[in-house]
A and B are shown apart, each in its own frame.
Chain A
């Protein structure tokens, strides 16, 4: 095994292959095309097996949502539909029943939109300013508060949910969409502040000093110098917050009333409602509809999504 593996390893091209200006560093030119060795087959085989594990649920979801109930009862969940029907999608969107009402997921969808938009904008605005103050306008104790904030990200929400109910009740926001928005702003703050703090501290400090010499103040520097050059990090933050808030279940179920439940709560109520005949095709269509927004963002954003979660993870 070891003898067989060694030549393969030796034949591998230098990792990262950064040209360092050294002319005598082995053969130049393109890497020769590798033949399909046993090692390669194992690598691709392993990756394909895992890909199947990851893709099959998605496949099953799509196929089930396009079948009629009689076909589901007779057939195989992996088989593609014999007769494609969009009926389940229509029903999931407009007339599926939760325990309370029968107007489908559309209500939850619009509730989620009404929650996600203000919560994303507010949480990013607040966190960006926090990060800016932490990097460029340090004051006594600013790092202490930041440390508490980061540690706070690890406190289980269950410890804080009840006192927050009391706070929201006191300020008159309990049960309203704005109460939930506030909760998302608070719990999104650690990670997004961290994101902006790291980004702003990576910018050259001369930029800030020059603007300061020119007489710009706290907000002037932020709005006219830093924000215009921070578009990538704002994009990352938007991706992170939209998917995170869209996927929330716990806060939605606690802090809103049934008529303003977000889509995830609505989905759970439709699928796990005990009454009536279970319509698996409608359930799967509803599931896909709920996953559609984050999935679209994920597939469109590609590397930025990875950058967002990695930024939070590695420094955390």
Chain B
């Protein structure tokens, strides 16, 4: 904008500024303000009500010595790594399968993506039923003659993560598939022509030529999947309620329970600040990577 506008610069273009006020308020008050508020209060000993009575890192020391938090972090790490790898692998495999000039492509894509339209509560409740030890999968396999068969992840602390994975991937892999399919369709035609001329088999082309070219698509998927994993909450509430015992607790649930259930705000603030730190650890390298890429182009 030219500098020769009205004398008061704040009033230049004022309808636009007014119209953007909700965005400015959201950015400053909620995203920055509320986050800082929580970070600051994580250094206090707030319990029932937030208080600015600073206790240094005491909440964090307590947090990291609480078994439930340790289990939550461990679960999130195991679930996160497995979900990330499996979702990427399944997403890429399905995208490649869908990309083979098949019939009913739209039909298959509709089937693969529909769980993504559902609430995690719905997903959790359905899988709770399928994995029900008395009526579900275990019951059916036993009925087929394998009477010794035992698969009861909802009541087995060692296997409960499998239940979360089955449900989480069921809901989320469709999105990755769709993004990867769009990525595959965006690959230059000439790459395929060249690889065909050179006589490289299709699977090798996918693995060694296309896959490296899809790095930006994978980066996007990794960020989206990771953001979803860190927020993992509804699914746990609906599928396992954190059980058996504390075997399937996750950080987001720890935050909610301490803030609204146990009236121990300080712990909730410290735990949520840890979640923020984890997200920043993923986002910042990604943002730098993208900025670096833009500069090179």
B119 x A156 contact (CB < 8 A): no
Q: Is B272 an interface residue, CB under 8 A from the partner?
A: yes
**Contacts A152-B31, A159-B273, A294-B118 known; A44 to B224 CB distance under 8 Å?**
no
**Contacts A54-B111, A148-B28 known; A314 to B19 CB distance under 8 Å?**
no
Q: Which DSSP category, helix, strand, loop or mixed, fits chain B's interface? A: helix
A282 to B9, CA, bound (A): 63
A158 x B129 contact (CB < 8 A): no
Q: Which of A146, A249, A310 sits near B119, CB closer than 8 Å?
A: A249
Of B60-68, B135-143, B156-164, the one with at least 4 CB within 8 A of chain A: B135-143
Chain B: minimal CB distance from A257 (Å): 13
A162 x B178 contact (CB < 8 A): no
**Contacts A160-B35, A250-B234 known; A54 to B20 CB distance under 8 Å?**
no
Residue of B nearest to A284 (CB): B129
Inside 8 A of B125's CB, which chain A residues have their CB?
A: 267-268, 271, 283, 287
Inside 8 A of A5's CB, which chain B residues have their CB?
A: 201-203
Of B51-59, B81-89, B95-103, B146-154, the one with at least 4 CB within 8 A of chain A: B95-103
User: Contact size class for A?
Assistant: 35 or more
Q: Which of A54, A130, A145, A314 sits near B112, CB closer than 8 Å?
A: A54
A158 x B20 contact (CB < 8 A): no
Chain A: minimal CB distance from B285 (Å): 13
Q: Is A102 an interface residue, CB under 8 A from the partner?
A: no
Q: Is A243 an interface residue, CB under 8 A from the partner?
A: yes
Inside 8 A of B135's CB, which chain A residues have their CB?
A: 72-73, 77, 280
Chain A: minimal CB distance from B216 (Å): 9
Q: Which of B22, B118, B238 sits near A268, CB closer than 8 Å?
A: B238
B34 x A2 contact (CB < 8 A): no
Of A13-21, A83-91, A172-180, the one with at least 4 CB within 8 A of chain B: A13-21
**Contacts A152-B30, A264-B119 known; A46 to B93 CB distance under 8 Å?**
yes
B276 x A155 contact (CB < 8 A): yes
A50 x B34 contact (CB < 8 A): no
Inside 8 A of A185's CB, which chain B residues have their CB?
A: 22
Q: Which of B26, B130, B193 sits near A152, CB closer than 8 Å?
A: B26
**Contacts A133-B16, A164-B34 known; A264 to B121 CB distance under 8 Å?**
yes
Q: Which of B19, B98, B205, B220 sits near A47, CB closer than 8 Å?
A: B98
B178 x A156 contact (CB < 8 A): no
Q: Is A93 an interface residue, CB under 8 A from the partner?
A: no
Q: Which of B23, B114, B143, B275 sits near A159, CB closer than 8 Å?
A: B275
Given contacts A159-B38, A254-B256, A310-B178, 18 further A-B contacts (CB under 8 A): A5-B203, A14-B193, A47-B102, A137-B15, A145-B23, A148-B28, A163-B38, A185-B22, A186-B26, A219-B15, A249-B237, A250-B233, A264-B121, A264-B234, A271-B238, A280-B129, A291-B119, A313-B179
Which residues of A are in contact with B by a Cβ distance under 8 Å? Answer: 1-2, 5-6, 8-10, 12-16, 43-44, 46-47, 50-51, 53-58, 60-61, 64, 72-73, 76-78, 126, 129-130, 132-134, 137-140, 142, 145-146, 148-149, 151-152, 154-164, 166-167, 185-186, 189, 193, 217-219, 243, 246-250, 254, 264-265, 267-268, 271-272, 280, 283-284, 287, 290-291, 294-295, 297-299, 302, 305-306, 309-310, 313-314, 316
Which residues of B are in contact with A by a Cβ distance under 8 Å? Answer: 1, 9, 12-13, 15-17, 19-20, 22-24, 26-35, 37-39, 50, 90, 93-94, 97-98, 100-102, 106, 108-122, 125-130, 132, 135-136, 139-140, 143, 170, 174-175, 178-179, 182, 185, 189, 192-193, 196, 199-205, 220, 223-224, 227, 230-231, 233-234, 237-238, 241, 251-252, 255-256, 259-260, 265, 268-269, 271-273, 275-276, 279, 283, 287
